Structure 1
Amino acid sequence: MRTERSLTRLDRLFARLDREPERPAHLDEPRMSPHRIVLLSATLAFYAAIVVAVVTTSWLVRFDWQVMFFRPYQQWPEIHGFLDYWVVLGQRGPTAVMVAAWLGWRSWRQHTLRPLLMFGAALLLLNATVGAAKIGMGRLGPHYATVIGSNEMGQGGDIFPSGHTANAVVTWGILAYLASTPRTRRYLSALSAVVSLSVGLTTVYLGTHWLSDVLLGWAAGLLVLLALPWVEPLITVVETWILGARDAWRRRGGAPVPVSTAPAALLPQRSAAGPRDEQPPAREPVAAARSRTPAYLAPGPHTARCERTPVTPQGTRRPPHPERVRGTSARPLAGG
């Protein structure tokens, strides 16, 4: 009696992954809508207001010094050890490795380079904008401040805006930006907001940044996320070029080229003025491609040996003998 093996949780997980399409159909990609443009303009105005408030040594600078003299790390020393590890969620190296690993898995499963390319573009924009602002304003941090009550601008520092805060906004916010459904995007947006807010306040607690550094870091990271839809056309062109170069290299090596390698946005779509029966080309799921019969097997169905119908052999299996005849015996001849 043969019993079937019960499926484990890992087996069910891989079975579900095998049913995923090569690229999600009707992918909800963010667009540069009027609502997003309004948010981008408001964030840019907030960014400029923070810079002007610090340059003019306004009440915000005085509040920075009050928070610094308050020394939160001395007021609540029991959470210092935990926050030393928590602030790592804003460091570019460890967070980039973790997020890139997850997005690389998504790219491999969905046969698209968009997640990795968008993450690379976001980090490039972050380094260019935040790095230029840090070098241009040259503000010193609380631990290196020289004159009480001054804004410490133009002293060769590199802490304005806060790189930890801006990196936390972009690194964890890109997961919400690349979400496939609006519901997942809302959940990931809330999670990334909590992480970025807590990382920024942790730098103030540890005394490594002024409070105004954190405010400008939040605005700088949010500007990068809001501007990403303008990068989408360039990402599509780069992805198409990379996939085309890969297919050309495979052809030179004699390897088979996949049928569907272009992004879904570049596939021919049905026109509004065309006939109704015209349909876009169907995309074959990965599971169907894996279950295709290999070329070296016969095209017909293959049944197990125990399922075949028994056949009774006809005739005898004994080979014919030329000197023997069934039913007769050879007798010696009597001599005369």
Structure 2
Amino acid sequence: MRTDQLLSRLEPVFARLDREPERPAHLQTPQMSRHRIVLLCATLAFYLAIVVAVLTTSWLVRLDWQIMFFRPYEQWPQIHAFLDYLVVLGQRGPTAVMVAAWLGWRSWRQHTLRPLIALGVALLLLNITVGSVKLGLGRLGPHYATQIGSAELFAGGDIFPSGHTANAVVTWGILAYLASTTVTRRVLSILSGVLSLSVGATTVYLGTHWVSDVLLGWTAGLLIMLALPWFEPLIARAEAYVFELREQWRRRLEEGRLSEPVAAALTPLLSAGGKWRPTRADGAEAPVTAAPAAGHSPALRPAAHAHPASRPHLIRSERTPVTPAGSRRPAHTERATARSARPATGG
């Protein structure tokens, strides 16, 4: 009885695994709306105000020094170990790997390269914008400050704006940007905002960044996320180019114009049967030129992966692995006999 109940519960799982993944008909692509442009302009103004406040050694620089002398890591040493791990969520290497793995799975399920390309574009913008300002202003961190009350600019440093904070905004914010529903996008936006502010506050606690570094890093990451819809046409063109290149290699493979080692290496990558399709900026599916049917080499033809339109689903007990020579799995009675004939001790 329990076995039958377990099989009946697992039957929907097996049916899901047998079904071919379906690409969403309409992927929601954020547009550059008027509200978004207004928010972008306001964020840019705040960004420039922070830069001017640091350049003029205003009250913001005095606040930086006050918190530096306060030394939060000495006031609350009991949370130091935990925050050492929390700050890793703002490092570019570990976070990029984790987010890329998730977006890669989404790309495979949705049959589109847009999530991975959008992540790449966002990180490229982050490196260009934040890196150029870091090197241009050359600010020193609190542990390397040389003159009390100074902004420590143009001294060969590279901490303004905070790269940890900006990276946390972009890396975790891209999940909200690529969310499929409005509710999911709002929830992930709040979580990414709280996480990025926590990472920034942690750097201030550890004494590796000034408060103004964190404010400018958070603003720099937000600017990238707000401006990302302007790059959606570029993302669509890059995706179409990758699929076009894939189709070209597939045609060469089917026409036998590739050497056998290269064909053997590319066959698993190009034998998807046309599942993947590029998308335009509006989310619609872009046409892809089909491969010619004639002139191909039978020896190098990729195995077709057919999926019947409808067939009865079999439970696990009815699925017997079958080979060209028949099933290699013995019947239940034979297995029971062999098990009983086995000696009790090894030999």
**For the superposition of Structure 1 and Structure 2, which TM-score range results when normalised by the shorter chain?**
0.7 to 0.9
Deviates more, 1:24-33 or 1:45-54: 24-33
Residue matched to 2:66 = 66
Find out whether 1:262 has 2:278 as its counterpart: yes
Please name the residue that 1:176 is paired with.
176
Where does residue 151 of structure 2 map in the other structure? 151
1:177-216 equivalences in 2 (<5 Å): 177-216=177-216
Listed one character per residue, the Cα deviations across residues 277-333 of structure 1 (whole Å, up to 9, x for unaligned) are: xxxxxxxxxxx963369xxxxxxxxxxxxxxxxxxxxxxxxxxxxxxxxxxxxxxxx
Q: Name the residue aligned to 1:106.
A: 106
Q: Name the structure 2 match of 1:291.
A: 308
Deviations 1:21-40 (A, max 9, x none): 53212222110000000010
Cα distance, 1:80 vs structure 2:
0.3
Q: Over aligned residues, Cα RMSD in angstroms?
A: 2.5
Is the aligned partner of 1:87 residue 2:87? yes
In the TM superposition, residue 18 of structure 1 has moved relative to its aligned partner by 6.0
1 CA distance for matches of 2:183 and 2:210?
Answer: 35
TM-score by length of 2: 0.74
Structure 2 counterpart of 1:203, one-letter code: T
Q: Secondary structure, in 3 states, of the residue corresponding to 2:284?
A: helix
Q: State the one-letter code of the partner of 2:59.
A: W
Match of 2:126 in 1: 126
Gaps of 5+ in 2: 255-269, 288-304, 311-347
Partner SS for 1:146: coil
Q: Which residue of 2 aligns with 1:46?
A: 46
After superposition, where does 1:204-283 map in structure 2 within 5 Å?
A: 204-254=204-254, 257-258=273-274, 261-263=277-279, 264-267=283-286
Deviation at 1:8, TM superposition (A): 8.7
Q: Is the 8 A contact 1:40 1:223 kept in 2?
A: yes
| Alpha-carbon distance in structure 2 between the residues aligned to 1:47 and 1:55 | 13
Distance 2:101 2:14 in 1: 18
Q: Which has the higher helix share?
A: 2
- Please say if residues 165 and 218 of structure 1, whose CA atoms lie closer than 8 Å, have aligned partners that are also in contact: yes
CA distance in 1 between counterparts of 2:20 and 2:245 reads 25
Task: Report the Cα offset of residue 6 of structure 1.
Answer: 2.9
Q: Is the 8 A contact 1:28 1:182 kept in 2?
A: no
Query: Structure 2: which amino acid aligns with 1:144?
Result: Y
CA distance in 2 between partners of 1:161 and 1:41 (Å): 19
Contact 2:277 2:286 in 1 (8 A): no
Call closer, same or farther: CA 1:14–1:46 in 2, change over 3 Å. Answer: farther
Aligned partners of 1:243, 1:139: CA distance in 2, in Å?
44
Which whole-Å deviations, capped at 9, do the CAs of 1:137-173 have from their partners, x for residues lacking one? 0000000000000000000000000000000000000
**Change over 3 Å in CA distance of 1:162–1:20 after alignment to 2:** farther
Q: Matches of 2:201 and 2:15 in 1, distance apart?
A: 43
Matched residue type, 1:232? E
Amino acid at match of 1:265: A
1:265 Cα deviation after fit: 2.0
Encode CA deviations 1:153-205: one digit per residue, 9 max, x unaligned: 00000000000000000000000000001011011111111110100000000
Name 2:77's counterpart in structure 1: 77
Q: Is the 8 A contact 2:89 2:199 kept in 1?
A: yes
In 1: Cα distance, 2:58 partner to 2:8 partner: 63
CA-CA distance at 1:17 after TM superposition: 6.4
Q: Which runs of 5+ in 1 are unaligned?
A: 269-287, 294-336
Cα distance change on mapping 1:16 and 1:226 into 2, 3 Å: farther
One-letter code of the match for 2:162? S
The alignment covers a number of residue pairs equal to: 274
Q: Name the aligned partner's letter for residue 262 of structure 1.
A: P
Assess, with a 3 A threshold, how the Cα gap between structure 1 residues 258 and 207 changes in structure 2: closer, same or farther. same
1:221-245 deviations in whole A, cap 9, x for unaligned? 0001001101100111111111111
Residue identity matched to 1:202: T
